[in-house]
Structure 1
Amino acid sequence: MTRYRTYGDAGQAFPIYITVVAGLLFLAFAYFAVGQAAVNRNGAQTAADAAALAAAQETRDELAGRWVEDILDPQKWQDIFAGEVLGLEPPCWRAYELAAQNDASVRGCDQDGLRLTVTVQANKSAGDSVIPATSTRRAHASATAVIESLCTFDPPGEDAEEDVLPRLNCEDGDDWELDPEDLTDLPGPEDLFDVHLAND
């Protein structure tokens, strides 16, 4: 009689054991799916960050080029350093390039002065899993890059000499004495402007 009850108890425990194991496996697959989704989101954020920075750097380079073109007209410098320049080429093509390199597609690219915001969508979903939504949903992410002037100068007064250019005082500690007769050594775009991701 005792042996019969022992076997009976074991028989009753087996379905419980199977249920527990199945539950644990389901949880493991669910955690794996969540991990896949997190990796997908991180990849989309990386693509958005790279795209926004690339677009901002394109604008930075154009502003630096415009400064070189107008270097002999210091009255225009302030507008250039503030990004208030007409005729700049839209920089979003760089965002498209960088997003594609990171396996994502640009869904929005907006410029507001010296701020560029890019929104991307991952080209791939997190893949098939026990969570149905992850098999079709694609991660989205956005990033904003900011361009900031690194240099200041004293605008020339009305009585300023025409053959003297203002000295640039830049945050890296370099002061640029500009000789209108010898403009071979000029600060580069990275000396004039900083490009970084916005914290907000």
Structure 2
Amino acid sequence: MSPPFPCGDRGQTLPIYIWLTVILLFAALAFFVFAQAASARNGAQSAADAAALAAAQDSRDELVQGLTAAIGTDDDWLDWLDGEKFQGTGASAAADRLAAENDSTVQGGVQPTVVNGFPGYRVAIETLYTVGDSIIPGTENRHAQAHATAVIEPRCTFATDADPKKPVRLDCAGHSVDIDPEHFHSDDLPDASVLFSVHLAE
């Protein structure tokens, strides 16, 4: 009795199975490479976001310190609420610190910028780690890069005819803050986040 399939057909299907196995294996390896690259990019972006936010938050703290010192001693203390009087002396160190905590380094320094009228910083980073070994040559030496921009947005408004020598009521995004320059204490100011918002620029 003859077999249901000629022996020659079996011999022909074996190379097809081998090729299918090789193709599936290559696809799996390629997917792994893309996953490695995506993970590195995500890590780089997280590091860039953290570094930019750290720079802006440091300058926000500087703004609050300057505002605190100016109230009651400087007739122009209300100008500090515009969010533009910081020097940014600690911004670079803050960005470097957060980048390092995320296994990355800041490239080219922290760059002051203005977005939609709000001051801030642009930070570019490069990861200390690489994408890793893969079937694609060179990935073992390739570092992920990313950049981010964070801005400082003032949240407080006050009457246009406010007298800086007299009590002033600030409206900080619905949060009322009363400041009496003649009887001011640092505890009269709310948290820095009430006075100034720090966020990533879109």
Q: Quick check: TM above 0.5? A: yes
Match of 1:196 in 2: 199
Match of 2:136 in 1: 131
Match of 2:92 in 1: 92
CA RMSD of aligned residues (A): 2.4
Match of 2:107 in 1: 107
Match of 2:157 in 1: 152
Match of 2:33 in 1: 33
Any stretches of 5+ residues in structure 2 without a counterpart? none
CA distance in 1, matches of 2:132, 2:138: 9
Paired letter, 1:30 = A
Alignment of 1:1-200 (within 5 A): 3=3, 6-72=6-72, 73-78=74-79, 80-85=80-85, 87-108=87-108, 109-112=110-113, 114-154=119-159, 160=163, 162=165, 164-178=166-180, 180-183=182-185, 184-199=187-202
Q: CA deviation at 1:149?
A: 0.6
1:22-47: per-residue Cα shift (whole Å, max 9, x none)?
11100110011101100100000000
Paired letter, 1:42 = N
Contact 2:71 2:184 in 1 (8 A): no
**Count of residue pairs brought into register by the alignment:** 195
Describe the shift of the 1:12–1:188 C-alpha distance in structure 2 as closer, same or farther (beyond 3 A). same
CA distance in 2, matches of 1:86, 1:99: 22
Deviates more, 1:148-157 or 1:21-30: 148-157
Q: CA deviation at 1:8?
A: 2.2
Q: CA deviation at 1:63?
A: 0.6
Describe the shift of the 1:182–1:87 C-alpha distance in structure 2 as closer, same or farther (beyond 3 A). closer
As a proportion of its length, which structure holds more strand? 2
Paired letter, 1:196 = H
Q: CA deviation at 1:189?
A: 1.5
Describe the shift of the 1:156–1:89 C-alpha distance in structure 2 as closer, same or farther (beyond 3 A). farther
Q: CA deviation at 1:2?
A: 5.0
1:136-170: per-residue Cα shift (whole Å, max 9, x none)?
2211110000101111123567xx584x2322221
CA distance in 2, matches of 1:192, 1:86: 14
Describe the shift of the 1:179–1:82 C-alpha distance in structure 2 as closer, same or farther (beyond 3 A). closer
Deviates more, 1:169-178 or 1:94-103: 169-178
CA distance in 1, matches of 2:2, 2:71: 101
Paired letter, 1:36 = Q
Q: Which runs of 4+ in 1 moved over 4 A?
A: none
Any stretches of 5+ residues in structure 1 without a counterpart? none
Paired letter, 1:176 = D
Paired letter, 2:159 = D
Q: CA deviation at 1:122?
A: 1.3
Identity %: 42
Contact 1:155 1:166 in 2 (8 A): no
